[in-house]
Every structure is written in structure tokens, then in C-alpha cells.
Chains A and B, each alone.
Chain A
Amino acid sequence: MGVQHSTQEGEAKALERAVQSVDYSLVRGRAVWVAGFEPAGLVAPPAEDRRLAGALARDAYLAARLVERLVNLGNRVVAEPREADIWLLPWVRVLGSQTTHREYRESLLFYYPVYVHDESHAQAAVSIGLYDRGSGELRDLVSGRSYGLIVEPFILDVLGFRLGF
């Protein structure tokens, strides 16, 4: 509620694209354990560093999105690391946004805002650590950098519409 929803909207869009862009061919059909896919309400940052609160929440969110993707690919997602062929360690490397505001005011109209324009730019990149318990191999599945854009123009400060990319 203290967070702008247009910002969150763009970030979720960018993150979903990042999850989709990862190549999961090495994981397909295997029993996997996904770190962070735990009851989210119990995730708490270590007492010594509460700045991790945001990062933990984002990693847990990424884990939840990743599990849907993996189950769709035919994987079984197990609850315990010892039951898995592969461990996946999702990490949100980049997730952020900025909102820019532009406006044109007309001096002849007492500087009335004739055109106002808000843009929320979000970008995301994820990295998923992969540990194959059988071979002992450790790899990193990396997404491309993806973007989400929400544009809101207002004409005469009254008529508004939204565009999302």
C-alpha cells in the first residue's frame, strides 16, 4: 500500500519475462528441489541484517513462478533436498524500476498542464544455480535482461489512459 502499483506491475512483468527466457533443458523431467519455495509467511531475514527482507521476498516469489514453469515442463518438485536429482537456487540478480515524469505546461493558460506523462521502467534479470547431485556438476542458468514498461499519459490533466509493454 505504500508501494506504487504501477512500479510493481512493471517489475512483475519484467520478472515473468526473465523466468520465461531461461533455458530449462538440463532440468526437464527430473526431480528438483527449489530453494525458497517454502511457506512464504515464514521467510524472515536474519536478525543481523534486515536489509535482506526485500531480497528474500523476491527470491521466494521467483521460486514460486519457477515451480509453475518446471511442473509444466513435467518435473516433480520435491520438498526435501535429499529427495531431488537437482537442486535449483533461484536468485533475483536485477529487479528495479524508475518512474519518469514529463509535462508540458502552457504559459498562456496560467501554466496549466496540457500534457502530463508518467513512465515506469522496470528491468529484471535472474540467475538460477543448478546443482546436479548425480554428477556433482554446478552450473548457472542465466536469463537475459528483460523489461517492463507502463506508460500513463494525461491530456489536459483530465483525460488519461494506460499502455503496457
Chain B
Amino acid sequence: MKTTPLVLVLVLAVGCATKIYEGPTSGRAAEAQVAISLAADSALEAFDAEPYRAQAVAVEVYGLTEKLEGYSPEEGYLRSLVVRKLVQAGARVVEGRADADILLAISLDAAGVDVIRRDLPLIYHHTTFRGLVRGRAVAYSLRERAVTGIIAATGFSRESIYREIYIFYVFGPITTREAVAPKLEPAPPAK
């Protein structure tokens, strides 16, 4: 009878939880979306839209990732967050520069996810989805669609950690998620 717990532990220890990720045909993995949206939400928390109250603002996002048409999902998501903040603050968001007093140009340096797996064989396993959103928002004053000066320029950067933990490779996933300050600060902007 004393051997029963030992047998039980051995049976559990040889178990294996395998997670299958579908490729691009099914879109982006849910975990990656969780990580990146968490980072984006947190990165723009400090964005102050109050100075744009009662102004007509055009919002454009410039990202490094390739896209076939329109904005990439990350760029579109970030733009929607900025637009929401502007509208909440009482700004008028316009589609083109022709009707705008201010052009808010957002350079999106990085919007992606690193996946890191850690493993203490048979006992512990976790997969971390580490998202990062980093960029720079520059508000330009517009006169007859020409950029004449910089009203404000601010960098934003935030990491997020979404983690799934398995004990004995079987029990889980135990999930945790948090937004954290990035370990690396953005490069200083051009002067």
C-alpha cells in the first residue's frame, strides 16, 4: 500500500501535456494576442489626450512590419486605442490631413511577442509569451496640410507577460498575466 503514492507520482511524472499551435491560417495565436493587447493597453495608459480637446486630429501609424493593405492588426489596434482616448478627451478625429489641425504620427518600433519555454524535467514547465509594444508619438501642427512644427513628442514602451504553468506536465495550465515596465528603454529620438 505504501507504494501506491509512489506509483501515482511516477504515473503523473511521465505524463506529457502538449499544446498544438495552429499556423497563420487560423490567425494569430490567442496567447500572442493577449500578450500584445495587454502591452498596448498599458503602453498607452499614460498617453495624455487632454491637450487635443476641441482640436481636429488626424492619426497615422507607421510600423516596420509588412502588410499587404491598410494597417497591420497591431497598428490598427494601437490606432483604435489612440482614437478612443482622443474622442473621450473631446477631440475630433478626422480621416485626412486636409481637415486636421494636428497630425498625430505614431512610429511603431516594435509590436511583437517572444515565446520562452522553461522546463525542469518531469516536475515543472512554463511557457511565457512576452509581448512588447514600443514606439513614439509625435504631434505636428498642420497649416494647409504642411507640417510646420512639433507640438509634443513622447515615447511609449511596455512589456507584458502572459504565462502558462504546468506542474508534473499534467496539472495546468495555471495562467498569470501582467504588464511590466520594459527592461530596455527606447533609443533616444533624433535631435
Give Cα A12 to B111, complex, Å: 11
The yes or no answer to B44 lying at the interface (CB within 8 A) is no
Which of A57, A68, A157 touches B67 (beta carbons < 8 Å)?
A: A57
CB closest chain-B residue, reference A161: B183
Pick from A50, A61, A72, A77: contact of B190, CB under 8 Å = A72
Given A150-B184, A158-B118, also A1-B74 (CB < 8 A): yes
Name the distance in Å between A18's Cβ and chain B's nearest Cβ: 11
In the complex, the answer to whether B112 meets A61 with C-beta atoms within 8 Å is: no
Chain B nearest Cβ from A6, distance in angstroms: 6
Report yes or no: B147 in contact with A61, Cβ–Cβ below 8 A.
no
**Complex interface bits, A56-98 against B, C-beta within 8 A gives 1, otherwise 0:** 1110110111011101100011111001000000000001000
Question: Which residue among A16, A19, A41, A65 has the maximum number of chain B CB atoms within 10 Å of its CB?
Answer: A41
CA distance A83 to B110 in the complex (A): 34
Q: Is B5 interfacial (CB 8 A cutoff)?
A: no
Please tell me the size bucket of the interface on B. Answer: 35 or more
Shortest beta-carbon distance from B75 to chain A in Å: 7
Q: Is A3 an interface residue (CB 8 A)?
A: yes
Q: Are B189 and A16 in contact (CB under 8 A)?
A: yes
Write out, one digit per residue, whether chain B residues 65-105 have a CB within 8 A of any chain A CB (1) or not (0).
11111110111100100000000000000001100000001
Complex Cα–Cα for A157 and B32 (A): 22
**B64: which of A45, A58, A68, A77 is its contact (CB, 8 Å)?**
A58
Chain B proximity of A125: nearest CB distance (Å): 15
Interchain CB contact (< 8 A) of B68 among A50, A72, A80: A50
Q: How far is the CB of B129 from chain A (nearest CB, A)?
A: 10
A41/B96 in contact, CB under 8 A? no
